[in-house]
Structure 1
Amino acid sequence: MKKVILALCCALAILSISSCSLDSDEQNFQFTVLEVVSADFPESFDHNGIHEIEVTFTRPNDCTFFEGFEVTSPETTTRIVSTIGTILESDSCNDSLEEVSATFRFRVDYTDTYLFRFYSGTDEAGNATYLEYEVPVMQ
């Protein structure tokens, strides 16, 4: 029993000595909404079906990475889709626009036509612009 306690104490001492130090409270990334170029939808949805939607968006530089989609539903069959990315803070980012695609799965719960709105940037006045797609549902 003494050997087990001694081994545990040694292991704890080694872990405490070699653990990482996180002294810096500085954040080295930030989240951003990426601009959508297009989305690929079927002609119609099947009620209660699950559909994969391919979304093409712009990656503004090589320090920006795709994280996922945020989907909100302000109304029963309206979906606002935001493409979320992270920007790593670095002095060595190459500013070259690149189009990237990713997919998300969508379950069709309602029989009414769905309206999807994708953030596509801002206009000259600084207002958000959206690409809109309407998809009817077949029963």
Structure 2
Amino acid sequence: MKKFALLLMVALSVISCSTEVEGDKFHLESLPIDSAILPIEFKKDSIYELPFNYIRPTTCHVFEGFYYERNLNVRTIAIQTSVLEQNNCEVATVNPITEILQFKPGNETSYVFKLWKGKVNGVDVFEEIEIPVVP
């Protein structure tokens, strides 16, 4: 009986360790910021909800979050999406889409937001907006 139980446990272990992944296949894709509504100044330690608009190309593009890179007082931002690899994708009819990024300024005297606008001839293009921080 012990041998049967051991054999059953080994068989279940092998079956449960299958390397095949079931479900939808997808890949990540960054989308450009179409527009943003940013304040003319920040107050230190206040929390801001910053709306960013983007164009969703197809119904298979699903918002995953923001590409957000910090470097001193510079914040580089783009939209991060998952693209479902399906053959029934349609052109998205509801555009632009607005997503909110929460931002809390710290000890910097200003912040530079670099909004990714896409690529032109293979080169990344950014819109830069500097916003001062007041006490």
TM range (shorter): 0.7 to 0.9
1:58 aligns with 2:55: yes
Which position in structure 1 is the counterpart of 2:73?
Answer: 77
Give the letter for the 2:88 counterpart: S
Give the letter for the 1:90 counterpart: Q
RMSD between superposed Cα atoms in Å: 2.4
Q: CA deviation at 1:65?
A: 0.8
Q: CA deviation at 1:95?
A: 2.6
Normalised by the length of structure 1, the TM-score is 0.77
Q: In the comparison of the two structures, how many residue pairs are matched?
A: 122
Query: Contact between 1:38 and 1:131, CA under 8 Å: does it hold in 2?
Result: no
In structure 2, the gaps of 5 or more residues are 1-11
Q: CA deviation at 1:21?
A: 9.6
* Structure 2 counterparts to residues 1-139 of structure 1, below 5 A: 24-25=20-21, 28-74=25-71, 76-96=72-92, 98-123=95-120, 125-139=121-135
Q: Secondary structure at the match of 1:136?
A: strand
Q: Sequence identity of aligned pairs in percent?
A: 24
Question: What is the CA deviation profile of residues 36-63 of structure 1, one whole-angstrom value per residue up to 9, with x for unaligned ones?
Answer: 1011111100011111100001111110
Normalised by the length of structure 2, the TM-score is 0.79
CA distance in 1, matches of 2:76, 2:19: 39
